[in-house]
Amino acid sequence: MEIDQITQNVLNQIDDAGFKQEGAYNLRYNGQALCHGDSEHIKIKKREDGNPGINVYISKDAQDETVHIPVVISKSGMNDEVYNDFYIEAGAKVNIIAGCGIHNSGCNDSRHDGIHSFHVGEGAQVTYAEKHYGEGEGTGGRFLNPQTRIYVGKDAQFNLDTAQIKGVDSTKRVTYVELEEGAKIYVTERLMTHDEQQAASNMDVVLNGKGSSAQIISRSVAKGRSVQVFHPKAIGNNDCHAHIQCDSIIMNEAKVSSIPEINANHVEAAIIHEAAIGRINNDQVTKLRTMGLSAQEAENVIIEAFLN
């Protein structure tokens, strides 16, 4: 199916691997499935419970395969809610590339609420990348509110990589994770806000299984008069390990609140948290300017390196 230029431009921003109508994929466009395909080991089915969205079934025979499930909204005033469930069989190894982009050229607010659930079988390895992006010359807002629930089975591993770098006026992210015996999760969260934008991220990671572990790293840059609030929580219910790290650069008149929380309900639970908020290092700016960069160019280099 031919994709229009606006949609293609948005896809280029939210899918770093490059969206193609090949293998397993599902492109949701203005509230409807625009195009869809299955692979031998990954099947995508329309939900039958009355909720909009899809079920994605990933076979144990899927090894180093990728499924693309982007969302694009180009209609001003659109309110899109979608429920996507993923069922990953034991031993599978898969990359899931999601992401949502809103192009709003009108005066009405556009909004996408993505509710995703992951059921990860024993020993499976899953990488889930979700990138959010907004653009358009209209005065209408661009709102994205993802909800993610992740259930990681015995000895399985889940890598969660979320990024929101440009153009989203408001986002409220809610993430809930449960880990069984020997299960691992690695979370990398990257965020930049500017102007009057607002972003909130609430995350609960429940370590139920013996030998389970979690690493949560959040990095953000707040510019203009934007407001950011981070509240990651690790709850150790067994012999487990967890580490939470939140680092933020604050600029202009922005506000950042970082509230890492740790709870131990078992004598062998080892949980660490750390948080830091500060301005750009002036010495770094000065050093880059001696190499011929302007002050703005130097700041951009520092921010890009920090977020990546």
Where are the domains positioned within the chain?
A: 5-280
Q: What is the pLDDT of residue 69?
A: 97
SS3 content of the chain, % helix, strand, coil (to 5): 10, 55, 35
Q: What is the mean pLDDT of the chain?
A: 95
Question: What pTM was computed for the model?
Answer: 0.95
Q: What is the pLDDT of residue 150?
A: 98
Q: What is the pLDDT of residue 19?
A: 93
Percentage of the chain exceeding pLDDT 70:
100
Q: Residue 12 — φ and ψ, nearest 5°?
A: -65, -25
What is the per-residue pLDDT across 221-252, written as a single tens digit (0 to 9) for each? 999 999 999 999 999 999 999 999 999 999 99
The helix/strand/coil state of 223 is coil
Confidence of residue 283 (pLDDT cuts 50, 70, 90): confident
Average pLDDT over residues 140-166: 96
The helix/strand/coil state of 24 is strand
What is the per-residue pLDDT across 107-117, written as a single tens digit (0 to 9) for each? 999 999 999 99
Using the predicted structure, report yes or no on whether residue 1 has a pLDDT greater than 90. no
What is the per-residue pLDDT across 190-232, written as a single tens digit (0 to 9) for each? 999 999 999 999 999 999 999 999 999 999 999 999 999 999 9
Determine the Cα–Cα distance for residues 215 and 66; give it in Å rounded to an integer.
24
Determine the Cα–Cα distance for residues 29 and 46; give it in Å rounded to an integer.
15
Percentage of the chain exceeding pLDDT 90:
90
CA distances from 172 to 24, 124, 169, 228, 230 (A): 29, 29, 11, 10, 10
**CB burial of residue 262 (10 Å; 0-12, 13-18, 19+):** middle
What is the per-residue pLDDT across 26-56, written as a single tens digit (0 to 9) for each? 999 999 999 999 999 999 999 999 999 999 9
**CB burial of residue 88 (10 Å; 0-12, 13-18, 19+):** buried
Q: What is the pLDDT of residue 218?
A: 95
Using the predicted structure, report yes or no on whether residue 285 has a pLDDT greater than 90. no
Q: What is the pLDDT of residue 2?
A: 85
Average pLDDT over residues 278-293: 89
Average pLDDT over residues 89-97: 98
